Amino acid sequence: MRRTVFNEDHEAFRETLRAFIEAEVVPVHEEWFAAGQVPREFYYKLAELGLFGINVPEEFGGAGLDTHKFEAIQYEETARAGVSFGGSGVHVLLALPYIKALATDEQKKRYLEKFVSAEEMWALAMTEPGTGSDLAGMKSTAKLSEDGTHYVLNGSKTFITGGVHADRVIVCARTAAPTAEDRRFGISLFAVDTKSEGYSIGRKLDKLGLKTSDTAELAFVDVKVPVEDLLGEENKGFYYLGSNLPSERWGIAYGAYAQAKAAVRFAKEYVQDRTVFGKTVASFQNTKFELAACQAEVDAAEAVADRALEALDAGELTAAEAASAKLFNTEVAHRVIDKCLQLHGGYGFMNEYPIARLYADNRVNRIYGGTSEVMKMIIAKNMGL
């Protein structure tokens, strides 16, 4: 079936991005995988390519567009090549919406030009040890100083993607106690300069997958955050977080679809070349049936991903719809990638094959951005159950 989500400009961008990946990423990706992160300098190349400024207003050096379709192509092309761009996705998909929606004109002038050029890479710090999906239970605090010039930030965060390379981090912290009526009240957002005294990076976490993404623990000990770096209104942070969750979950859903599509491609190429018992693996009926079933699931996931993309760009993607897309596509990807790895036999267990890395990378999709169980709760509530 013909896809209608992308136009000629999008496809031209795809060709440019594919050539860039082949020239700048594929030859060194094994080194990044072994190091557990991409070089900080690589982000300047992404900035030169224009990836960080697509949705940034022209007055701040961006292209002034308002679409997620170029991000969607990036998901497809990185998955197709079996590579990743480290924590750069957080910079654009997660951090930028908060800056655009909440920053004052003065803040945008300070933040966005450096954002576009990669002079300042951004991350988002929500999760804390022991809280997970229960963001209202966070313990980090930010207390306003007596002279009203700054907040004093204390606490810790974990599982922070892009946390090692980040120059600024949007930190969620309590500025007031929750009320009896609303335990979500009292959380605020701050654009914290990582060079601030008392700010420290703990362990760079050793993950099952996403090896090129720098994921870290962060700690704050009496960090002074100027009041000029408060994002939005005090105590309304939880509601700001909720408003951006649909786009975050769309990104996970789309990325999962792209991974599943890539897995089928990797498996198809492998079984056509691999010979057992004097025949190619592709010639066996079981191989054909397994890949045919995988392709059918990928086709369905693509339709869900594209429909959610169009709704997101139109500003119409609801929390329940985003949860449904994330739940469906991440579960599809789980099944498809597992079957495609199985068709690789023992080689599918070797990290030198992209299917092995894809298998490990994909597993977190059903956890972060809200677990599959949380997605089911959201969908069920929307059904009136």
Cα torsion through 278, 279, 285, 291, rounded to 10: 130
Residues recorded for the chain: 385
- 268: helix, coil or strand? helix
Closest to 361 (Cα-Cα) out of 304, 353, 114: 353
- 298: helix, coil or strand? helix
**Residues in a beta bridge with 230:** 190
DSSP 8-state secondary structure symbol assigned to residue 166:
-
Cβ pair 354, 341 in contact under 8 A? no
Residue 228 bears catalytic tag: no
Strand runs labelled E in the chain: 122-125, 141-144, 150-161, 168-174, 187-193, 199-204, 215-226, 230-231, 275-276, 279-280
Cβ pair 190, 138 in contact under 8 A? no
Cα–Cα distance for residue pair 137/183, rounded to 1 Å:
8
Q: Which of 120, 248, 290, 302 is catalytic?
A: 248
Cα–Cα distance for residue pair 154/143, rounded to 1 Å:
9
6: left (phi over 0), alpha (psi -120 to 50) or beta: beta
245 CA to centre of own chain:
11
Q: What is the 3-state secondary structure (H, E, C) of 313-373?
A: HCCCCCHHHHHHHHHHHHHHHHHHHHHHHHHCHHHHHCCCCHHHHHHHHHHHHHCCCCCHH
222: left (phi over 0), alpha (psi -120 to 50) or beta: left
Classify the C-alpha dihedral 291-295-296-298 as positive or negative. positive
Residues noted as catalytic: 248
